[in-house]
Amino acid sequence: MAVSYWRERDRYYRILGSKCQNCSAEFFPPLYRCRKCGSDKLSDHEMPQEGQILAYTLLRDPMTGFEDHDPMPIALIELNNGVRIVAQLADTPIDQITVGSKVRAVFRRVRVNGPNGQIFYGYKFAIKNEKVNLTR
């Protein structure tokens, strides 16, 4: 995971997708050829930081390295530009997660890797109008 993580960290840090220079369609993750018009003229494009929850699930017994996130809320989010993204929810009590909730991106620790404790950061989403817990 480590090598691809560092190579692609912009994607995790800034939700960096792509935008077609021909038809203005936006994509995440980024594409090299537009799925809408077929153009290969795409450029890096940062996704909006806000959207709403379309669906969610609570992941029980998460994969290795994520044991401290049990249960782990995972949501399908439609960003304000219409692009859909799957992301972990943070800062939100599980009983307050509802379909249709407005969310915003937050920068959080994603996982700690191995005994040397290498820490990976990236985006998660939090329900808006909730008090932000900066310690998590």
Where along the sequence are the contacts to Zn ion (CB under 5 A)? Answer: 20, 22-23, 25, 34, 36-37, 39
Q: For the CB of residue 133, give the shortest distance to Zn ion in the complex, in Å.
A: 40
Please identify, using beta-carbon distances, which residue of 38 and 71 lies nearer to Zn ion. Answer: 38
Q: For the CB of residue 11, give the shortest distance to Zn ion in the complex, in Å.
A: 20
The strand ranges marked E within 1-136 are: 16-20, 26-27, 42-46, 50-59, 72-79, 84-88, 102-113, 118-127
At 58, give phi and psi (nearest 5°).
Answer: -105, 115
Q: For the CB of residue 40, give the shortest distance to Zn ion in the complex, in Å.
A: 9
Give the burial class of 134: count Cβ atoms within 10 A of its Cβ; 0-12 exposed, 13-18 middle, 19 or more buried: exposed
The amino acid sitting at 102 is K
Please identify, using beta-carbon distances, which residue of 16 and 112 lies nearer to Zn ion. Answer: 16
Rounded Cα distance, 124 and 86, in Å: 9
Q: For the CB of residue 85, give the shortest distance to Zn ion in the complex, in Å.
A: 19
Please identify, using beta-carbon distances, which residue of 84 and 128 lies nearer to Zn ion. Answer: 84
Please identify, using beta-carbon distances, which residue of 45 and 111 lies nearer to Zn ion. Answer: 45
